[in-house]
Amino acid sequence: MSDVEIGRAKRARRVYAFDDIAIMPSRRTRDPQDVSTTWSIDAYQFDIPFLAAPMDSVVSPATAIQIGRLGGLGVLDLEGLWTRYDDPEPVLAEIRELPAADATRRMQELYSRPIQPELVTARLAEIRAAGVTVAGALSPQRTQELYETVVAAGVDLFVIRGTTVSAEHVSKTGRPLNLKKFIYELDVPVIVGGAAGYTPALHLMRTGAAGVLVGFGGGAASTTRRALGIHAPMATAIADVAGARRDYMDESGGRYVHVIADGGLGTSGDIAKAFSVGADAVMLGSTLARATEAPGGGWHWGTEAHHSELPRGHRVEVGSIAPLEQILFGPSTVANGSMNLVGALRRSMATTGYSDLKEFQRVEVVVAPYSVG
Amino acid sequence: MSDVEIGRAKRARRVYAFDDIAIMPSRRTRDPQDVSTTWSIDAYQFDIPFLAAPMDSVVSPATAIQIGRLGGLGVLDLEGLWTRYDDPEPVLAEIRELPAADATRRMQELYSRPIQPELVTARLAEIRAAGVTVAGALSPQRTQELYETVVAAGVDLFVIRGTTVSAEHVSKTGRPLNLKKFIYELDVPVIVGGAAGYTPALHLMRTGAAGVLVGFGGGAASTTRRALGIHAPMATAIADVAGARRDYMDESGGRYVHVIADGGLGTSGDIAKAFSVGADAVMLGSTLARATEAPGGGWHWGTEAHHSELPRGHRVEVGSIAPLEQILFGPSTVANGSMNLVGALRRSMATTGYSDLKEFQRVEVVVAPYSVG
Amino acid sequence: MSDVEIGRAKRARRVYAFDDIAIMPSRRTRDPQDVSTTWSIDAYQFDIPFLAAPMDSVVSPATAIQIGRLGGLGVLDLEGLWTRYDDPEPVLAEIRELPAADATRRMQELYSRPIQPELVTARLAEIRAAGVTVAGALSPQRTQELYETVVAAGVDLFVIRGTTVSAEHVSKTGRPLNLKKFIYELDVPVIVGGAAGYTPALHLMRTGAAGVLVGFGGGAASTTRRALGIHAPMATAIADVAGARRDYMDESGGRYVHVIADGGLGTSGDIAKAFSVGADAVMLGSTLARATEAPGGGWHWGTEAHHSELPRGHRVEVGSIAPLEQILFGPSTVANGSMNLVGALRRSMATTGYSDLKEFQRVEVVVAPYSVG
Amino acid sequence: MSDVEIGRAKRARRVYAFDDIAIMPSRRTRDPQDVSTTWSIDAYQFDIPFLAAPMDSVVSPATAIQIGRLGGLGVLDLEGLWTRYDDPEPVLAEIRELPAADATRRMQELYSRPIQPELVTARLAEIRAAGVTVAGALSPQRTQELYETVVAAGVDLFVIRGTTVSAEHVSKTGRPLNLKKFIYELDVPVIVGGAAGYTPALHLMRTGAAGVLVGFGGGAASTTRRALGIHAPMATAIADVAGARRDYMDESGGRYVHVIADGGLGTSGDIAKAFSVGADAVMLGSTLARATEAPGGGWHWGTEAHHSELPRGHRVEVGSIAPLEQILFGPSTVANGSMNLVGALRRSMATTGYSDLKEFQRVEVVVAPYSVG
């Protein structure tokens, strides 16, 4: 730990963002087509280690199905527009047409509509009917209220996702979710987060979760640092949680909890870096919101953007650049890291001589700020 | 102390600004409504740990009253327009209408009008009549001349505020204020500063002050670094003065001198960071100047902006974004850290698992420059 | 090695770009005209240590001849337009006229035309006929297919250049080039790269190469860092490969393998820095693309810009600023480091007191980021 | 020395620019009027420690006289327009009217006019007649040719100034100036530079110079870093040369050689920083070029801007903001560090409790990059 003194009464650790690091070539190279990008968690196998983030601009039932067919996993936000509106299309259209000055306020209104449990059931059934792996996400605050509906509707993977989720939530008024008990009793594997440090992640692993989301609500559309002062640069966050995975595996006698990077993955270069510092899979937001099929229609926003009292994110225009399949598998017609995400990951692994993702976690990285290149 | 060599004949210490650091989540989370933001100094208790800065763009008698009623403390500048003009409203209006090229010169003129002691009395009486805690600020240069007027008018807290105030001011010509003697003889608790280092703050604590302002005249509207070469990044400054508080408490057998961050607090994230490195309270300027009730009417300036010989600050347009109550307590309709300052502080504490401000001073912070997030 | 912890499960080394460093004057100065910039590799001697990069925007048969006559070495890309088209001029013209949005896609098409071996022969013959040193470049992927044509056509120096070339390429499907065997059997000295680290370079040196290109496909027009996450800042890369040169010289009993910096050399200042950290020669792209004779006609692009599936570079407009001779030898009429490249290198050496390039590798450098100067 | 590894074969030292550092307040403060800014070198005393740089945009005979009367020292460039043209005013007028694209080329022509020794004599006589201290500057290249003219004309202080001047210049063709012999034989105190490191400065001190200019040709209008790769950030350069002053004083049994910061002093804050790291005086260019009386008429350029073969600087527009006296002594009507340079220096010293410049060299400085404040 490179510990520095902020002032007489405070010390701090130096941490690193994706932009601070880079991957280094090694003495061996490899053909990109010889590289494997498969990922499996619990009983589920995926050709590509990409989860589409439970955000209304990214995942609809239709895109969840499409992502599943393309080899990844689409996670539907069960507290988003799809479970609040019978037909969310006009609402999505309204959001993308909102003038900038009005956007936050109007989104606060649109998202104040109550969640309808029967829509939760219907949306998940639609995905299940297509034969792909079914995953839905709830916030910790809503999990107790809605999980039975979700489980009854049938999910393969249950995602509990908040900006910061801890194994030990304290509340004087409500009954906080007891994650350990909840996960133990649930028959479905749970992915939970965000966690952005070694200790919080280790505690989440001890709840029995199958995977931990690494993040803190800090993606492309977030202003958490400005609003709360909280920021957990992703390179350090992932490497810390990977350390927790290693130590928990020892402590638990061999249970491997998956580390899923969630947030701040703006380019294919960032995705490669996430694996290079220890991720098993990545949860993608803005990169997939650029697909022509994405429900955001070229706009992107997270749940933080419409928080009723303290919004901590913006609706941002990301553009519609290509069909989802082309964004994932190419061919790319641009050189900015937004297309052929899987091809870029393969090439990054091949250029540094690695043949699978687990090995690629050992690739050499360097600290190289200042220059853009 | 991370000491580096600048060159053969000079060493220096690495110091940190708010932008260099971030707060890290921990293993515990908490409900924001369970968090306490109360602050008390001497016999006075406040629901929120916010002092409005003695600047004409922020505090008028009316806003001092309003801030008091909302749970904070408004500090009136007793050397500003309110004690120089019977009716400062036309002057305030003129200032906000000044063309940029003329602003500094004309403000120098407007502030050259003499202070009228009877206005000091009248303004403080107005605040007292409203039943809120009364606080007024003088510069060290004027304190001897005006303090008897101030004390006679009745203040609960006496603020002595300059860009840099030391316990040991040397003057060949004038009779410098003997702070120790002055504070000892005064019957009113004194808050004094700015101080931006361990030793200067420790000496101020030894004068008997109830609180020390941490700063050096370096807020949003300041150019001290360009003009004088002097700069004391706030994260380090606060942590150093917090170290002096700890050591002085030991040396004095238990006297707790409050550390009040003053300057450079541009967003709710900065406010949370100030507490995270050791502040007991914060003095706010530009963030409150954005209130629709603020006397600056969307403009903000400090006393440095109209210094007669060496102005070291600008009049800056900050905009009028919401009523004061909404800026403090929300709901926020924007995501940039300018609204719901109290709610953001609560959430920052809750997300990291802390329940009161004193505990929150122990939260983990990291050094995370380069990335904006 | 200044090793830092990224997070619990990952460590990294701090590396440096040209922009991070600067050359320091010493106690001696010298006349620029007393400085030697000669360079020799194998049996070939050059007045200036500059290789023109095998890129269609920089080297045509005509400019290869001109560069040779001016004392340097022009390397023709044997997989570029000159070996795909009988008359590439209309294609070059089309490329510079392409609208930005279309450029990548259309270049992918233009470069999909097959390579014609008889054009390889003809282009090399044209250069040889002019009496200058002949050098042509192939990618590792095409070397086996085309090298006999190349050798038969007659080259003095054979360049194998890819973004990242290793001595140990692994392929399940193809037969990878065995560099060691290939170089051993070839009767022509080989320059090979890019390599960007100590170990990869050492392995390339062991193949018997006469020179190693230091780079990773990261020049002015590259987006490798955004697309793949891979980045090897040049100052560290060159200093590492210079370390490999030293150790290999010891290990081999005295074989001196030349270190040729390739990429990221945007100004005459960067060129001087490349030598200051250990380069024996530099391969120039964008700086020479600015010559009025350059085939790019004021535009510049690399092979990465038209990769069929994953383009990792842009066509960039660099402008046509002066004849090649003036760019190399001045007089300069601008002050931005783009003209009189040789004069600037001489002056940099003279100002620091060095008289030849090998000595200049020992000049003091400093780490000086942040300021532009 | 904080030494880092650039790569296997190269180490480097971390160095600091003015922008990287800041001055810290201390436990004592003082009245600005109690501060002394006097400076003396050899037999000459000055009220203010400012030398006007020998640049045609800054010093004419008239401004040299005016600066002398205001308490400083104007140094005339004896190789500039004033010794090449009987009436340089039309030439100065032409330079400020030149279109940007033409400026470098035309200035190369204008400065190719031969120096007329009788003009050297006449210009110095004009200054001497006014009764102020007379100082003129030559480059090392011209010193032998012109110094007898200069000495005969009568100078009090002789300045030898180049971008980088060493005590040990090596030349195969010319007869380099033997500085030690030259200074020993000369009856006039010599100020010589630029030097930017401990060893080069120590060697210059040993020549018998009365003062050393710290710099490398890197002021506001310079592009040395881009063109040559050479850069010597000023904070480190001054602190290194101050170290040489201390060691040379010991070695010489008490000779105090003055350290004069020359270049990169863009604001009053930079000036204060120069003293804070060890300077005895500062040589000012761009800050004085902003005077309404400055011959540049709002434009600024150095000799590097019109170098015949390798220009390494630009003509930059700095504007005419106030009369020279107001720029030096205020009152300032702006807050950007460009006016009341002496008042700002006094206030910087007073705020940190120092009463003379020699003491102020001991003030605490900190490393504080990233934030602007």
Whether residues D335 and B199 touch (CB distance < 8 A) is answered with no
Q: Are D143 and D135 in contact (CB under 8 A)?
A: no
The whole-number average pLDDT for the span A183-204 is: 94
Structure tokens at D120: 């050297």
Pick from B41-50, B98-107, C251-260, D200-209: least confident: B98-107
Structure-model confidence comparison of residues B91 and D217, the more confident one: B91
pLDDT of residue B218 exceeding 70: no
Q: Is the pLDDT of residue B370 over 80?
A: no
User: Cα–Cα distance between A19 and C370 in angstroms, integer?
Assistant: 16
Query: Is the pLDDT at D2 greater than 70, yes or no?
Result: no
Mean pLDDT for the stretch of residues A280-303: 96
Are D and A touching by the rule of 3+ CB pairs within 8 Å?
no
Q: What are phi and psi of D52, to 5 degrees?
A: -80, 130
Q: Which of D10, D216, D233 sits opposite C365 (nearest CB)?
A: D10
- C164 contacts A22? CB cut-off 8 A: no
pLDDT at C372: 41
**Confidence check: pLDDT of A307 > 90:** no
- At A317, the amino acid letter reads E
Confidence (pLDDT) at D333? 87
**Residue D308's pLDDT is what?**
83
Tell me the per-residue pLDDT of A116-148, one tens digit each, with 9 for 90 and over: 999 999 999 999 999 999 999 999 989 999 999
The pLDDT, as a whole number, for residue C220 is 59
CB pairs under 8 A between A and C: 223
Chains contacting D (3 or more CB pairs within 8 Å): B, C
Give the list of residues 6+ apart from residue B243 with CB closer than 8 angstroms, or none.
A7, A8, A9, B198, B278
Three-state SS annotation for D250-312: HHCCCCCCEEEEECCCCCHHHHHHHHHCCCCEEEECHHHHCECCCCCCCEECCHHHHCCCCCC
What's the mean per-residue pLDDT of chain C?
A: 93
pLDDT tens digits along A214-238: 998 766 567 888 999 999 999 999 9
**What is the predicted pLDDT for the residue at C370?**
52
CA-based nearest distance B60→chain D, Å: 25
Give the whole-number percent of chain B exceeding pLDDT 70: 97
Say which range, D59-63, D295-299, D332-336, has the weakest mean pLDDT: D332-336
- DSSP string covering D18-85: GGGEEE---SEEE-GGG----EEETTEEESS-EEE-S-TTT--HHHHHHHHHTTSEEEEETTSGGGT-
Q: Which of A24-38, A216-230, C37-51, C82-96 is predicted least confidently?
A: A216-230
- D131 or A164, which is more confident? D131
Q: Is the pLDDT of residue A371 over 50?
A: no
pLDDT of D267 higher than 60? yes
Tell me the CB-side half-sphere exposure of residue D181, using CA atoms within 13 A.
Answer: 6
What are B266-296's pLDDT values in tens digits?
A: 999 999 999 999 999 999 999 999 999 999 9
pLDDT of A38-96, one tens digit each? 999 999 999 999 999 999 999 999 999 999 999 999 999 999 999 999 999 999 999 99
Q: What is the pLDDT of residue C77?
A: 97
Q: What does the pLDDT average to over C198-209?
A: 96
pTM, two decimal places: 0.94
For chain D, give me the number of helices (H) and strands (E)? 14, 18
Contact D368, B218 (CB under 8 A): no
Residue D295 pLDDT grade (very low, low, confident, very high; cuts 50, 70, 90): very high
Question: pLDDT (tens digit, 9 = 90+) per residue, D92-141?
Answer: 999 999 998 888 889 999 999 999 999 999 999 999 999 999 999 999 98
Mean pLDDT of chain A: 93
Residue D288 is predicted with a pLDDT of 97
Mean pLDDT of D231-240: 95
pLDDT given at position D151: 93
Q: What is the pLDDT of residues C45-70, one digit of tens each?
A: 999 999 999 999 999 999 999 999 99
* Model confidence pLDDT, tens digit, residues A8-17: 999 999 999 9
Question: What percent of chain A has a predicted confidence (pLDDT) above 90?
Answer: 80
Gap between the Cα atoms of B125 and B120, Å rounded: 9
| First-to-final CA distance of chain B | 29
Model confidence over D166-177: pLDDT tens digits? 888 888 877 778
| pLDDT given at position A306 | 83
Say if the Cβ atoms of B373 and A164 lie within 8 Å. Answer: no
Q: Are A161 and B21 spatial neighbours (Cβ–Cβ below 8 Å)?
A: no
Q: Give tens-digit pLDDT for C157-184.
A: 999 999 888 888 888 877 778 899 999 9
Residue B21, Cα to own-chain centre: how many angstroms?
20
Which residues of chain C neighbour D308 with C-beta distances below 8 Å?
A: 331
pLDDT of A220 reads 59
Q: What distances in angstroms separate CA C80 from CA A217, C76, C302, one per listed residue? A: 47, 8, 10
pLDDT of residue A373: 36
From B20, which residue of chain D is nearest by alpha-carbon distance? Answer: D370
C310 has pLDDT over 90: no
pLDDT at B371: 47
Interface test with A, best of C309, C315, C371 (most A CBs within 10 A): C309
The nearest CA of chain A is from the CA of B323 a distance in Å of 15
Q: Which of A150-154, B136-140, B169-173, C67-71 has the lowest mean pLDDT?
A: B169-173
Using CB atoms, pick whichever of A271, A332, A367 lies closest to residue C15: A367
**Structural domains of chain B sorted by starting position, each given as residue range(s) with its CATH number in brackets:** 20-367 (3.20.20.70)
What does the pLDDT read at residue A184?
92
Q: Check residue B372 and give its pLDDT.
A: 41
Statement: residue B174 has pLDDT above 80: no
Q: How far is D119 from chain C (nearest CA, A)?
A: 29
A59 versus D223: the higher-pLDDT residue is A59
Give the integer Cα–Cα distance in Å for C360 and A3: 38
Confidence of residue B308 (pLDDT cuts 50, 70, 90): confident
Put simply, the answer to whether C310 touches A331 (Cβ < 8 Å) is yes
DSSP string over C260-304: EEES---SHHHHHHHHHTT-SEEEESHHHHTBTT-TTTTEE--GG
- Map residue A361 onto helix, strand or coil: coil
Structure tokens at B236: 């380090």
Shortest distance between the Cα of D36 and any Cα of chain B, in A, equals 12
Across the interface, which of C24, C270, C335 has its CB nearest the CB of D305?
C335
Interchain CB contacts (distance < 8 Å): C and D: 225
Contact: D27, B199; criterion CB under 8 Å: yes
Amino acid at C70: L
User: What is the percent of chain D where pLDDT is above 90?
Assistant: 81
Lowest mean pLDDT among A35-44, D212-221, D242-251: D212-221
The residue ranking higher by pLDDT, B190 or A222, is B190
Nearest to A367 by CA among A18, A37, A29: A18
